[in-house]
Chain A
Amino acid sequence: MEYEAIIGLEVHVQANTATKMFCACPNNFGSEPNTNVCPICLGYPGVLPTPNREAINKTVLAGLMLNCEIPEFSKFDRKAYWYPDMPKNYQITQYDLPFCIDGKVLVEGKALTGELEPKYIGITRIHLEEDVGKSTHAGTYTGVDYNRAGVPLMEIVSEPDMRTADEAWAYLTALRQTMQYAGVGNCDMEKGQMRCDVNISVRPVGQKEFNTKTEIKNLNSIKSVHASIDYEIERQIEMLENNEEFKQQTRGWNEASQETYVMREKEDAHDYRYFPEPDLMPVVLTADKVAEIKEKMPETPAAKRARFVEELGLPAYDAQVLCLEKATADWYETAVATGADPKKVSNWIMTELLRELSDAGLSINECPITPENLGELLGLIDKKVINGRIAKEVFAEMFKTGDAPGKIVKDKGLEQVTDTSAISEFVIQAIDNNEKAVGEYLAGKETALNFLVGQVMRFSRGKANPNLAQEALKEELAKRG
């Protein structure tokens, strides 16, 4: 029998605001434990929350980027949940009237293991809530760091629209990309800035209704989301084939064994006792206010990819790679703005720059080469000041020193030799030192010429214009033939 998986994701993204959701403490990862805290985020007696406008605006912006509707009327609610890392033992969140509803995001192109047909994944809602503290267990004691408590957290809930691990991978990648484009979240999963829970069930193809679902938690990378889905699809198919009974479960992901395991079954489901937060007024987002946010909305990744293909003539794959991070796309566009050929710039970034950055462990923002300088380098090639081989050498030097290519070429005397008298000197040296090759060429072996051109380049230490060198060689050999 053929099966299909039904996959929906719940993704939490910390908004990268200056301060926390309901108090003035810094929203800052990596500080000493319990230093970014105050009576409000510690839930001291008598304190009240004050909503962070920046967090609301960023959530709305995220929603607009994901093609959501922004209802005029939203509110906050309280969700009862008892745990020491939840200072008030309730979380301020949004229950039935979130800031964003009914969105969608496009997934397409190369995924982790295959190629995806373009497809929209529906977004049910995005709501804003406060993050909890972080518990660390040591022996019989537990320590709690409340620095994270109260950090604004967007929860993005998808429709059950995904069918494969690749689609989930692409959806998550697209979300992260969108958050970064919008500048609303850094989405570093290792820092917990983006967290993902997977809801998944499997059914025979053709069946209309959904089977009992499983929720997978503790996923700390996009890769483990992919792996856990593949694992779970196989596990569930096997259960179906064996006619095993399904219970609604929450399962964890064991990174070491690459398996899911049972965390709890539905019997222990919580009663969250939601009710409207009486300490906060409902939030009204007028059409004007939403329009104001929309005005500042950056281009979405999908729109940018489409533009790169249509206006700059890039292949879809190039556009996908360049647009993966907004900073790379911006870097690319700045380089193209110098007048360089868009495809050539793309080639340089994809083959040279990204590799160098990855080897050096740097992000594009830390790149020692400026995009203007790459444009200048391509100009030097076009104007035949240097040839392609020298250009790679110059590029390596630029990456090492951050110097402009013109300066490097000049300092190192790397200008291409186009002076024919200078070239003929190298040609004669090449001929005199390679009797065998000369003999072969004269005997009719055309490929021997390539070898001799290489020799000219060697004697000129790479600076000779290869075309001129070839012409001069032919001329000189003709004389000797």
Chain B
Amino acid sequence: MAKLSAKPVAGSIAGAAVQLATGDITAVALVEGIYSRYEEVDDEVKGYLQINKEKALVAAAESDARRAAGNTLSAYDGVPIAIKDNISVDGETCGCASKLLEGYTATYDATVVQKLKAQGFIPMGRTNMDEFAMGSSTENSAYQQTRNPANTDHVPGGSSGGSAAVVAAGEAIAALGSDTGGSIRQPAGFCGVVGLKPTYGRVSRFGLVAFASSLDQIGPVTHTVEDAAILLDMIAGKDQLDSTSIPDVECNLAASLKGADVKGMKVGLPKEFFEIDVLNDEVKAKVEAVRDQLEAAGAELVEVSLPNLEYAVSVYYVIATAEASSNLSRFDGIRYGARVEKTKDVKDIYYLTREAGFGDEVKRRIILGTYVLSSGYYDAYYLRAQKARTLIRQDFEAAFEQCDVILGPIAPAPAFKLGEISDPLQMYLSDIYTISVNLAGNCAISVPAGETESGLPVGVQFIGDSLQEEKILKAAQFVEQQQAQQGD
């Protein structure tokens, strides 16, 4: 094993902004710094699928020129950011870590990328992931196995395992990931960084290769809570190209965090969270420690209930696979991506291309999703799952009448070893704490809360009501401050 966790050059987005402003560092130096750390560790971490140094250097030089001329696009002009391989950046590969999209180059920028570019951020590098974001360990990537920088014998989590790993290893200042059932929060927790899943609709999905449309959200993976707020401020907002995006709401989260505390904050503790028998003792102890710190700082603890939590995994795997089976039907080898040659007819192109192009987990979910949508089964599965989803949403609504945020674990256990979980169902159950949030459409954040005795990071999760990112960020910032004090 090796421990490769490190702070990146400039430490954080906010740190980079200060150093760029004072002239202590240039955008070119930031890109060089990131790249040299990549050269140093990525052979082991394997967090990037691709990184284009030359292109990033060109953008960095342009940024430095703007700054010299006093024309910066924003305070963050020149900060490089890693992008998950399922978010479209014009001119770059966007293969979702799948063989099927080998050779595909995106022809347009995702809305989030366009917004970041407009602020001067430099997209740099495509991060590894579970194929089409289906998985919890990044073991389903068709290309490489990303390792957890805290202990390279362990998985980084998934599906945004590459994004979390490159940030944790100091090979990126920050990254974008996507979260359909915990794919930002769980790897952030496993790797010891911050991961935020925004409220469904707060961030445009345009340009995010869809896994499950009604659950997917793009969000930041960062070193600090403040950075998560900064990035969300940058990427949030109504998008004409995404009908499901929420009409404009004020987003000044980074500013709202300054000097915030948790005094008087009502922290909900769902009793069902702690009754789950697979919950690891060390993880449970970390959550309890955070709970006690919050109480000591003047927060009010409230017991709440999420009675339908037990159905969340089943509901999720019906709805997510149903949508995925449809979303992934466009990958047929006809218009782009890889195509198996020497086929005898159209059906042959479909069958052979998809047989060769998709990995086992993707096929498993397409088959399941196709089944639950089939005539005669729709009512029993899909329709029923949608009704149960409504009940889960109502559970959260009732809970948020009693509290401001909900505190809980991110996953039942810390990062497991590579190859340790081979049973898909057992893997699905590791998402129990995260997926109900996607089903309800709420926001949630994962923040580091210490390590296990063996040195694996443990994160805790704060869940907020729809559009209540400010509250969960404040709670997460409190945990971050507590950790910093303990580290001192």
Question: A residues touching B (Cβ–Cβ < 8 Å)?
Answer: 39, 42-51, 78, 80, 82-84, 87-90, 142, 144, 271-275, 278-281
* 10 nearest CB pairs, A to B: A278-B213, A89-B329, A273-B373, A278-B214, A45-B209, A43-B330, A46-B207, A88-B330, A46-B88, A46-B209
B208 beta carbon closer than 8 Å to chain A: yes
B86 contact set on A, CB distance < 8 A = 46
**CB within 8 A of B206: which of A48, A88, A281?**
A48
A47 contact set on B, CB distance < 8 A = 206-207
CA distance A83 to B209 in the complex (A): 21
Q: Is the CB of B104 within 8 A of A45?
A: yes
Q: Is the CB of B101 within 8 A of A45?
A: yes
Closest Cβ–Cβ distance, residue A83 to chain B (whole Å): 8
CA distance A43 to B328 in the complex (A): 11
User: Could you give 25 example pairs across A and B, Cβ below 8 Å?
Assistant: A39-B107, A39-B108, A44-B106, A45-B94, A45-B106, A45-B209, A46-B86, A46-B206, A46-B207, A47-B207, A48-B243, A50-B240, A78-B326, A84-B346, A87-B335, A89-B332, A90-B329, A271-B375, A273-B325, A274-B373, A275-B382, A278-B212, A278-B213, A279-B210, A281-B244
**CB within 8 A of A82: which of B212, B244, B332?**
B332
Q: Is the CB of A45 within 8 A of B241?
A: no
Q: Is the CB of B322 within 8 A of A275?
A: yes
B209 contact set on A, CB distance < 8 A = 45-46
What 1/0 flags go to B231-245 for Cβ under 8 Å of A? 000000000111110
Which residue of the partner chain A has the closest CB to B383? Answer: A275
Asked, given contacts A275-B378, A275-B382, whether A49 binds B335 with beta carbons under 8 Å apart, the answer is: no
B210 contact set on A, CB distance < 8 A = 46, 48, 279
CA distance A39 to B330 in the complex (A): 12
Which residue of the partner chain A has the closest CB to B347? Answer: A82
Which residue of the partner chain A has the closest CB to B323? Answer: A278
CA distance A339 to B346 in the complex (A): 65
Q: Is the CB of A84 within 8 A of B334?
A: yes
B370 beta carbon closer than 8 Å to chain A: yes
Q: Is the CB of B330 within 8 A of A45?
A: yes
Asked, given contacts A84-B334, A275-B373, A279-B213, whether A46 binds B110 with beta carbons under 8 Å apart, the answer is: yes
Closest Cβ–Cβ distance, residue A285 to chain B (whole Å): 16
Which residue of the partner chain A has the closest CB to B87? Answer: A46
Q: Is the CB of A48 within 8 A of B242?
A: yes
B243 contact set on A, CB distance < 8 A = 48-51, 279-281
B274 beta carbon closer than 8 Å to chain A: no
B205 beta carbon closer than 8 Å to chain A: yes
B50 beta carbon closer than 8 Å to chain A: no
Say what secondary structure dominates the interface of chain A. loop
B317 beta carbon closer than 8 Å to chain A: no
Closest Cβ–Cβ distance, residue A135 to chain B (whole Å): 10
- Which of A88, A272, A273, A274 has the most B CB atoms < 10 Å from its CB? A273
**CB within 8 A of B374: which of A43, A88, A273?**
A273
What 1/0 flags go to B205-232 for Cβ under 8 Å of A? 1111110111000000000000000000
CA distance A89 to B326 in the complex (A): 8
B476 contact set on A, CB distance < 8 A = none
Which residue of the partner chain B has the closest CB to A279? Answer: B213
Closest Cβ–Cβ distance, residue A84 to chain B (whole Å): 5
CA distance A312 to B426 in the complex (A): 81
A272 contact set on B, CB distance < 8 A = 375
What 1/0 flags go to B369-404 for Cβ under 8 Å of A? 010011100100010000000000000000000000
Closest Cβ–Cβ distance, residue A284 to chain B (whole Å): 13
B325 contact set on A, CB distance < 8 A = 273
Question: B residues touching A (Cβ–Cβ < 8 Å)?
Answer: 86-88, 94, 96, 101, 104, 106-108, 110, 205-210, 212-214, 240-244, 322-323, 325-326, 329-332, 334-336, 346, 350, 370, 373-375, 378, 382
A42 contact set on B, CB distance < 8 A = 335
Asked, given contacts A80-B329, A273-B375, A279-B244, whether A45 binds B334 with beta carbons under 8 Å apart, the answer is: no
Closest Cβ–Cβ distance, residue B71 to chain A (whole Å): 31
A275 contact set on B, CB distance < 8 A = 322-323, 326, 373, 378, 382
B374 contact set on A, CB distance < 8 A = 271, 273
B373 contact set on A, CB distance < 8 A = 80, 273-275
Q: Is the CB of B88 within 8 A of A45?
A: yes
CA distance A278 to B94 in the complex (A): 22
CA distance A275 to B110 in the complex (A): 26
Closest Cβ–Cβ distance, residue B32 to chain A (whole Å): 30
Closest Cβ–Cβ distance, residue A73 to chain B (whole Å): 16
B242 contact set on A, CB distance < 8 A = 48, 50
CA distance A82 to B87 in the complex (A): 26
Closest Cβ–Cβ distance, residue B144 to chain A (whole Å): 20
B212 contact set on A, CB distance < 8 A = 278
Closest Cβ–Cβ distance, residue B333 to chain A (whole Å): 10
CA distance A42 to B335 in the complex (A): 8
CA distance A271 to B334 in the complex (A): 22
**CB within 8 A of B329: which of A51, A82, A144, A281?**
A82
A51 contact set on B, CB distance < 8 A = 243
Closest Cβ–Cβ distance, residue A426 to chain B (whole Å): 78
Q: Is the CB of B350 within 8 A of A82?
A: yes
B329 contact set on A, CB distance < 8 A = 80, 82, 88-90
Q: Is the CB of B330 within 8 A of A89?
A: yes
Which residue of the partner chain B has the closest CB to A272? Answer: B375
Asked, given contacts A273-B375, A280-B243, whether A44 binds B336 with beta carbons under 8 Å apart, the answer is: yes
B106 contact set on A, CB distance < 8 A = 44-46
A50 contact set on B, CB distance < 8 A = 240-243
A83 contact set on B, CB distance < 8 A = 346
CA distance A144 to B332 in the complex (A): 14
Closest Cβ–Cβ distance, residue A375 to chain B (whole Å): 49
B241 contact set on A, CB distance < 8 A = 48, 50
A144 contact set on B, CB distance < 8 A = 334
User: Given A45-B96, A48-B243, A271-B375, list of 10 further CB < 8 A pairs?
Assistant: A39-B108, A44-B107, A45-B104, A50-B240, A82-B329, A84-B346, A273-B375, A273-B378, A278-B214, A281-B243
A281 contact set on B, CB distance < 8 A = 243-244
CA distance A317 to B316 in the complex (A): 64
- Which of B206, B241, B244, B330 has the most A CB atoms < 10 Å from its CB? B330
Closest Cβ–Cβ distance, residue A31 to chain B (whole Å): 19
Which residue of the partner chain B has the closest CB to A273? Answer: B373
CA distance A39 to B107 in the complex (A): 8
Which residue of the partner chain B has the closest CB to A84? Answer: B334
A273 contact set on B, CB distance < 8 A = 325-326, 370, 373-375, 378
- Which of A45, A84, A144 has the most B CB atoms < 10 Å from its CB? A45
Which residue of the partner chain A has the closest CB to B346? Answer: A84
CA distance A49 to B244 in the complex (A): 10
Which residue of the partner chain B has the closest CB to A22? Answer: B243
B88 contact set on A, CB distance < 8 A = 45-46
Closest Cβ–Cβ distance, residue A175 to chain B (whole Å): 30
CA distance A51 to B243 in the complex (A): 8
Q: Is the CB of A46 within 8 A of B332?
A: no
B244 contact set on A, CB distance < 8 A = 48, 278-281
B323 contact set on A, CB distance < 8 A = 275, 278
Closest Cβ–Cβ distance, residue A330 to chain B (whole Å): 37
CA distance A3 to B373 in the complex (A): 41
Which residue of the partner chain A has the closest CB to B214? Answer: A278
Which residue of the partner chain B has the closest CB to A81? Answer: B329
Closest Cβ–Cβ distance, residue A87 to chain B (whole Å): 7
Which residue of the partner chain A has the closest CB to B319? Answer: A278
Closest Cβ–Cβ distance, residue B255 to chain A (whole Å): 30
- Which of A78, A142, A272 has the most B CB atoms < 10 Å from its CB? A78
B375 contact set on A, CB distance < 8 A = 271-273
B326 contact set on A, CB distance < 8 A = 78, 80, 90, 273, 275
A88 contact set on B, CB distance < 8 A = 329-330
A80 contact set on B, CB distance < 8 A = 326, 329, 373
A39 contact set on B, CB distance < 8 A = 107-108
Asked, given contacts A80-B326, A279-B213, whether A46 binds B208 with beta carbons under 8 Å apart, the answer is: yes
B107 contact set on A, CB distance < 8 A = 39, 44
B87 contact set on A, CB distance < 8 A = 46
